[in-house]
Amino acid sequence: MKQIGIIGCGWFGLPLAQAFIKQGHQVIGSKRSLEGCKQLASLGVTAYPLDLNQDSFADEINGVLDCEFLVINIPPGLRKKAGKPESRYLEQLQKLLTLIGPRYYQKLVFISTTGVYPAKMDCSEPLSEADAAPHSDSSETLLKAEALFAQITNSCIVRFAGLVGPNRHPGRFLAGKASLSGANVAVNLVHLDDCIAAVMQIINAEHRANNCVNSTTEIYNVVAPIHPNKGEFYAFASAHLGLAAPEFNQQLMPTKVISGALLCQQFGFVYQYPDPFKMLYAC
């Protein structure tokens, strides 16, 4: 039985916690509110409140940080327009890093996104984990966030592609919109179930859980291996819900195809939903 802490038990973190509990592991999780903690407790998670917007923290926060394995899942919220969400995100993570202090983990998994990869007009090769670059303000923020936790022994950065699953059907993303550019742009998506399975496989990997110290931070993309273009995919996805299809103009846009093959090569990982079209039936 492993002792696993999860910072941020939301859309991804909560079902991850439930999956670990089902395997017989002890899970300690955090939510920002006491009501959220009550929900976690009712589902078998030992819960502690943690709001990183606060300036001081109760000693009980040690309960979620004192574990063998830690998963950090704090959404960056970079699309919000009010204030400066990018600075708040980094401030929150810096506070968490300070709270972690000198603690040692058999594995620390930091959840990031594939927003760190630049799109190009001449995208001829899939992008690997080594191709991340600060091509925008948000990508620069994401890379700074990753760097904060890359300094921790046995850390692992996991970059999720666009997330779909329960209550996140991609047919609603663009339905009914008109004069959209980028019908040529490749779709990089991943289903919630594959995200959960990937993180579980990383943590459960025996050769990485025997108190070995990794001098190099591991980085893995989690993205379905099939990449239809936006024009075809979102027309099909909206029709799947009986919604009006989006209309695209003729303007071509920079694109990117992100590879999730490294995870498969190093862990023998197999995507349950390799095809975004078939993901729609599991949303």
pLDDT higher at 179 or 57: 179
Find the mean pLDDT for residues 26-42.
93
Could you read off the pLDDT of 177-205 as tens digits, one per residue? 999 999 999 999 999 999 999 999 999 98
Complete DSSP assignment for 174-207 = STT--SB--TTPBP-EEEHHHHHHHHHHHHH-GG
pLDDT category, 213, cuts 50, 70, 90? low
Q: Which sign, positive or negative, has the C-alpha torsion 180, 181, 184, 185?
A: negative
Determine the Cα–Cα distance for residues 15 and 30; give it in Å rounded to an integer: 13
Closest Cα partner for 176 from 235, 249, 250?
235
Residue 241 has pLDDT above 60, yes or no: yes
Could you read off the pLDDT of 113-166 as tens digits, one per residue? 999 999 999 877 999 999 999 999 999 999 999 999 999 999 999 999 999 999
Structure-token pair, residue 224: 């379905």
Domain boundaries of the chain, sorted by first residue: 3-167+189-225+256-272
Give the amino acid at 133: A
Q: What is the pLDDT of residue 68?
A: 96
Find the mean pLDDT for residues 260-274.
97
Q: What is the third-level CATH fold of 3-167+189-225+256-272?
A: Rossmann fold (3.40.50)
pTM: 0.94
Question: What percent of the chain stands above pLDDT 70?
Answer: 93
